[in-house]
Amino acid sequence: MNIVLSGIKPTGVPTLGNYLGALKNFVKLQNEMTDYEFFMFVADMHAITIPEDPKTLRTNIKNLAAIYLASGLDKDRLTLFLQSEVHEHLELGYIMQSITYMGELERMTQYKDKVAKQVTGVTSALFTYPALMAADILLYDAKYVPVGEDQKQHLEITRDLGNRFNNRFGNTFQIPEALVTKVGAKIMDLQDPTKKMSKSGDPLDKGCIYLLEPLNIIKKKIKSAVTDSETRVYYDKEKKPGISNLMTIYSVITGLNYDEIEKKYEGKGYGDFKGDLAEIVATEIGGLQERFNAIINSKELDEILDQGRERAEILARKKMLKVYHKVGLGRF
Ligand code: ATP
Ligand code: LTN
Integer Cα distance of 133 and 90 in angstroms: 10
- In SS3 terms, the chain reads as CCEEEEEECCCCCCEHHHHHHHHHHHHHHHHHCCCCEEEEEECHHHHCCCCCCHHHHHHHHHHHHHHHHHCCCCHHHEEEEEHHHCCHHHHHHHHHHCCCCHHHHHCCHHHHHHHHHHCCCCCHHHHHHHHHHHHHHHCCCEEEEECCHHHHHHHHHHHHHHHHHHHHHCCCCCCCEEECCCCCCCCECCCCCCCECCCCCCCCCCCCCECCCCHHHHHHHHHCCCCCCCCCCCCCCCCCHHHHHHHHHHHHHHCCCHHHHHHHCCCCCHHHHHHHHHHHHHHHHHHHHHHHHHHCCCHHHHHHHHHHHHHHHHHHHHHHHHHHHHHCCCCC
- Assess whether 199 carries a catalytic annotation: yes
Predicted confidence at residue 205, as pLDDT, reads: 80
Ligand 2 center to residue 90 CA distance, Å?
14
Q: In 3D, which of 228, 238, 233, 227 has the Cα closest to residue 262?
A: 233
Which atom of ligand 2 is the closest one to the Cα of 136?
Answer: 10
Query: Which residue of 154, 177, 179, 199 sits with most ligand 2 atoms within 8 Å of its CB, as the best mutation to test the pocket?
Result: 154
Ligand 2 center to residue 157 CA distance, Å?
12
Predicted confidence at residue 113, as pLDDT, reads: 86
Beta bridge partners of 7: 41
Predicted confidence at residue 12, as pLDDT, reads: 87
255-285 confidence digits (pLDDT tens): 999 999 999 999 999 999 999 999 999 999 9
Mean pLDDT of all residues belonging to the chain: 94
For the chain, what's the residue count? 332
Query: Which residue of 48, 151, 157 sits with most ligand 2 atoms within 8 Å of its CB, as the best mutation to test the pocket?
Result: 151
Q: In 3D, which of 190, 224, 228 has the Cα closest to residue 209?
A: 190
- Assess whether 196 carries a catalytic annotation: yes
Q: Is the CB of 151 under 6 A from ligand 1?
A: yes
Residues 165, 171, 172, 173: is their CA dihedral positive or negative? Answer: positive
53-89 confidence digits (pLDDT tens): 999 999 999 999 999 999 999 999 999 999 999 999 9
- Assess whether 114 carries a catalytic annotation: yes
12-59 confidence digits (pLDDT tens): 889 999 999 889 989 999 999 999 999 999 999 999 998 889 999 999
Integer Cα distance of 208 and 191 in angstroms: 8
Q: Is the CB of 186 under 6 A from ligand 1?
A: yes
Percent of the chain surpassing pLDDT 90: 85
Residues 137/145, Cβ–Cβ less than 8 Å: yes
Q: Which is the catalytic residue, given 24, 62, 196, 319? A: 196
Ligand 2 center to residue 146 CA distance, Å?
10
Residue nearest to atom 3 of ligand 1 (CA): 200
Residues 83/42, Cβ–Cβ less than 8 Å: yes
Q: Is the CB of 187 under 6 A from ligand 1?
A: yes
Predicted confidence at residue 110, as pLDDT, reads: 87
186-223 confidence digits (pLDDT tens): 899 999 999 999 887 777 789 999 999 999 999 999 99
Query: Which residue of 19, 45, 46 sits with most ligand 2 atoms within 8 Å of its CB, as the best mutation to test the pocket?
Result: 46
- What is the set of domains in the chain, with CATH numbers? 3-181+299-327 (3.40.50.620), 215-293 (1.10.240.10)
